[in-house]
């Protein structure tokens, strides 16, 4: 078999241009799936809402609790210090305890505690795939790939959590007490946005054409994994 050697990779645009295009590419907007749009508008039937909450639980809690912290396996010393400072603060903030907070919210919409415990112990294949994809690119791939994955998921998560909290309160009658975790996540939006923007500027925008291609592929992999989780029910 003949192996083709590529002397040069020609980029189809600058990293800035490509990222701007990716902003609205399929599967890149995590709240734009029809299931999430219906939930946020209060139009998702209660049984399907409960199913969605159960599917997402092991992604934000349990096995996946710390996946959404923009963890990067290869990072410089200053950024590593900032990263672990963020991780320390999140893990020591009771309001950010997804295991407790997401469960409280789930029970408030009628999901049995035993059912939530069961999916935490045995996540769906879609939930496992999403967490594995985040960890693969965050901890084993390069910094550009990790930054790209954070750009797709972690950057958008606080906004989605805040929108979900508002929808559950306004359309599904959930009390504020049961929404404390979601609101706590929503308050991190500006901090997360700044952190992910820093990672993108430092590790994605400065990468060579092939690395940018690999990072964008990782972004699509995690975006598709989120889509698969969203519509699995």
The residue written with tokens 């404390």 in the block is: 180
47 token code pair: 């049984």
In this prediction, residue 81 carries a pLDDT of 72
In this prediction, residue 229 carries a pLDDT of 96
In this prediction, residue 84 carries a pLDDT of 66
- Cα separations in angstroms, 24 against 21, 27, 92, 166: 6, 8, 35, 24
Q: For residues 212 and 149, is the Cβ–Cβ distance under 8 A?
A: no
Q: For residues 52 and 233, is the Cβ–Cβ distance under 8 A?
A: yes
Cβ-proximal residues to 6 (8 Å cutoff; 6+ apart), any chain:
none
> Helix (H, G, I), strand (E, B), or coil: what is residue 19?
helix
- Return per-residue pLDDT of the chain as tens, 233 residues: 556 565 667 778 899 999 999 999 989 999 999 999 999 999 999 999 999 999 999 999 886 666 655 455 556 777 767 766 766 666 666 677 889 999 999 999 999 999 999 999 999 999 999 999 988 887 777 889 999 999 999 999 999 999 999 999 999 999 999 999 999 999 989 989 998 999 999 999 999 999 999 999 999 999 999 999 999 97
Find the helix packing angle between 209-230 and 143-152, rounded to 10°: 40
In this prediction, residue 170 carries a pLDDT of 98
Cβ-proximal residues to 153 (8 Å cutoff; 6+ apart), any chain:
30, 68, 134, 222, 226
Among 140, 186, 154, smallest CA distance to 67 is for: 154
- Cα separations in angstroms, 53 against 6, 109, 127, 192, 218: 46, 9, 12, 23, 25
In this prediction, residue 92 carries a pLDDT of 67
In this prediction, residue 152 carries a pLDDT of 95
Length of the chain: 233
161 token code pair: 């959590």
In this prediction, residue 138 carries a pLDDT of 76
Rounded to a whole number, what is the largest CA-CA distance in the chain? 64
């Amino acid at each position: 078999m003949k192996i083709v050697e590529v002397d040069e990779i020609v980029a189809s645009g600058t990293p800035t241009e490509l990222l701007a295009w990716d902003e609205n590419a399929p599967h890149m907007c995590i709240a734009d799936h029809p299931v999430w749009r219906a939930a946020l508008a209060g139009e998702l039937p209660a049984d399907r809402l409960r199913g969605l909450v159960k599917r997402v639980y092991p992604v934000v809690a349990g096995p996946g609790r710390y996946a959404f912290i923009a963890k990067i396996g290869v990072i410089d010393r200053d950024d590593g210090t900032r990263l672990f400072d963020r991780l320390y603060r999140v893990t020591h903030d009771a309001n950010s305890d997804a295991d407790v907070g997401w469960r409280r919210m789930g029970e408030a919409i009628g999901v049995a505690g035993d059912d939530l415990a069961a999916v935490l112990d045995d996540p769906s294949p879609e939930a496992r795939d999403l967490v594995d994809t985040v960890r693969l690119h965050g901890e084993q791939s390069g910094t550009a790939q990790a930054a790209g994955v954070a750009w797709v998921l972690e950057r958008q998560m606080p906004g989605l959590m805040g929108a979900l909290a508002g929808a559950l309160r306004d359309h599904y009658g959930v009390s504020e007490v049961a929404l404390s975790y979601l609101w706590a996540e929503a308050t991190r939006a500006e901090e997360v946005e700044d952190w992910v923007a820093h990672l993108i500027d430092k590790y994605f925008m400065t990468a060579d054409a092939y690395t940018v291609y690999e990072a964008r592929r990782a972004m699509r992999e995690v975006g598709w994994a989120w889509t698969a989780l969203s519509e699995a029910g």
